[in-house]
Amino acid sequence: MRLALIADIGGTHVRFALWRDGRPQALRVLATGDYPGPEEAIRAYLAELGLLPDALETACLACAGPVQGDRFRLTNNHWQFGRLALTHALGLRQLLVINDFAAMALGMTALADHERLTIRPGQAATGCPRLVLGPGTGLGVSALLPDGAGGWRVLPGEGGHVDLPLGSAREVALWQVMQRELGHVSAESVLSGGGLLRLYRASCVLDGRAPQFDSAAAVSAAALAGEAGAAAVLEQFCCWLGRVAGNHALTLGARGGVYLTGGMLPHFAGFLQGSGFARCFVDKGVMSDYLEDIPVWLATAEQPGLLGAGLALQAWLERSPA
């Protein structure tokens, strides 16, 4: 029997697995920077398993960026490819390409209760949309819409690139520093790994101090260790995450709840719980009451994007003619 491949392709890493019996198996994580494109990375993954490309029959690639037409270019790395060309190069019968946060959203539908941590308690409204967003190399945003039959449909988008919202004089001043550097300051400009470091440097400029840290990991580690400047930056990061999540929840009507995902947040989950995230999430003036009962969870499951890619592939094959 030929195999099904699933992949979750982000800006920095690609996660590969085989889809068998409704679960990802043979997981491997490769650095996207080590390969010129997905074909070479797929061949390397298969070689590590002792397989040839002709072992594959179908595949689903969940990619960080908008999926439109045959050509695909990832937003935060150098990879680009054509769906038909890649299908032929690998000898596949079928290749499905979806947005990575569409896959992430599908992964949320299969979470067990122990695979999510409550960041903000509330009561999920039955039959209402759910929001999925998370910072990593970029900021992914997607949504789950009830399908009327007890299941969910995914609404992908590029909500990470909305304008960064401003809610205080300090935030205005930080925005001005970053605007001089970037021109357009999107939510992703702050709510991502590179964004946390950018926010730290902008804070140093405002406060007249020399930067001590040169990576997002160093900033968050210092914050958790009690370094005052880094802690203030991480607090601001959490507040901006709350503002952006609240904005999207209002737009979507996401009274079914909000899932936070991505590789960054689990590293400081306790800090996030105690931060101003919840306050900024509901700080919407006359619409604050609308958000008051919406719960927010942090997904702690391993590789939910891969699981979602597998679920997407499975559903697609069930709908496709043999």
Q: Which residues sit in the known binding site for ATP?
A: 7-12
Residue 155 exposed, middle or buried by CB count within 10 Å (0-12, 13-18, 19+): middle
Per-residue tokens: 166:
């401003």
Binding residues are 7-12
Specify the DSSP class assigned to residue 296. Answer: E
Residue 120's nearest CA partner among 258, 7, 306, 227 is 258
| Gyration radius (Cα) of the chain, Å | 20
CA distance 16 to 314: 16
CA distance 104 to 111: 11
**293: helix, coil or strand?**
coil
Strands 13-20 and 3-9: antiparallel
CB atoms inside a 10 Å sphere around CB 158 = 18
What are the backbone dihedrals phi and psi of residue 262, each rounded to the nearest 5 degrees, phi first?
A: 100, 170
Per-residue tokens: 41:
């990375």
Residue by residue, DSSP assigns 89-136 as HHT-SEEEEEEHHHHHHHHHTT--GGGEEEEE---PPTT--EEEEEES
CA distance 44 to 54: 14
CA distance 24 to 110: 13
